[in-house]
Amino acid sequence: MPLSDTAIRQAKPATKPYRLFDGGGLYLEVAPSGGKWWRLKYRFDGKEKRLSFGVYPDVPLKDAREKREAARKLLAKGIDPREERKADKASETGSFAAVAREWTAHKKPTWSATHAERTVTILEKDILPFLGAKQVDKITTPDVLSVLKRIDTRSPVTARKAYSSLRMIFFHAIASGRAFTNPADGLTALLSPKRSKRMAAPTDPPEVARLLRTIEGYTGSFVVRCALRLSPLFFLRPGTLRGMEWQDLDFDRAEWRIPIEQMKRRQTEKDARRGEIALIVPLSHQAVAILRELHQLTGNGRFAFPGVRDRGKCISDNTVRSALRGMGLTGEEITPHGFRHMASTLLHEMGFPSHLIEKQLAHSDGNKIRAVYNHAEYLPERRKMMQAWADYLDVLKGGARIVPIRAAG
């Protein structure tokens, strides 16, 4: 007699496993633990075999019957359903999508959150819809080039990021024995020429003065206004500035002590050194004044520059850029990263030595052992430089006769 949903639901576990038969070889095995497993008993080449269809109620009676009928159709064609399932699984693990996601899972712990998000987005949006279902060892160089060209017409930068991921995914496939050649190799030569990345920013003092006065005239959000005013004073990477946390500021010592997890470093290094100070930023009088004013508004939260919708997160990476564009400043005139280029150029012209400027820019130290301990390196000299820089910007902004404030000889 065929099974019913009521009979299945009412089936209670016993001291030993027992079976409830539905017909056509399909039965439900009830385990002493209470688990209910769908099985199909069939014969192939004169041998009795069994196939599992999953657990009830995850697989309801209707679905189990559909699986039975699909298996019987295979048997009618002389195909063993069990071997067909093995082939399907092998096909799934050998698909480009399976290899790509396996590679992503393997690499993700070493990536920053931003890099991981960007890489996964490119994979899911631009690559997997076109290559995901293909067997990784069947993908040809023209297949890969077609995908890259499609991206390249929209964004050459994204195309090169996609190329990098594709190349490494195929290497992962080769290393795991699922491919023998890398069809992505050498394809960058066929993409749009790589453009040099220029951090647009004014370096001519009158143009810097105009930029500073434009920023002072910003009438939008007070939080964003403070971020804009502090950008030229600190000239750190935009992500580091917007991620500023109040707990890292010491107004009495006029210092911002930035932990390594907020800096641009490999994720493995961040994890290994979590909580350590990566850089001390001396605060000029001008920076302290801006931060104290901002503290009155956002000081009861974690971030100095909290988001509008979610104060548990900092402002987005596009907030300062949008504010600059809203004031009529184009990408050819200034970018959030451009404040670094502006400060580096002018500080060198002011006579400050490169090692102080490089340290304040938080550029990686080539000496990895020394880099662990040098967060306070050259601090007295950098403190003088940061105050001189803030004073110089005030001179420019005020429209006084522009005479560079030279570093002490």
* Catalytically active residues, by annotation: 237, 264, 337, 340, 363, 373
Note the helical H segments in 42-93.
61-76, 81-93
Beta carbons of 126 and 151 less than 8 angstroms apart: yes
Query: For tokens 């795991």, what's the residue?
Result: 176
Q: What is the chain's percent helix, strand, coil content, to nearest 5?
A: 55, 10, 35
Dihedral sign from CA coordinates of 208, 214, 217, 222: negative
Give the integer Cα–Cα distance in Å for 344 and 361: 8
* Strand ranges, E, within 176-289: 249-250, 255-259, 277-282
Which contacts of 8-14 are long-range, i.e. CB under 8 A and separated by 24 or more positions? 8/36, 8/56, 8/61, 11/36
Q: Taking the CB of residue 219, how many other CB atoms lie within 10 A of it?
A: 8
CA distance 262 to 242: 10
Q: How many whole angstroms separate alpha carbon 360 and alpha carbon 374?
A: 12
Buried/exposed 71-108: b ≥16 CB within 10 Å, e otherwise:
beebeeeeebbbeeeeeeeeeeebbbbbbbbbbbeebe
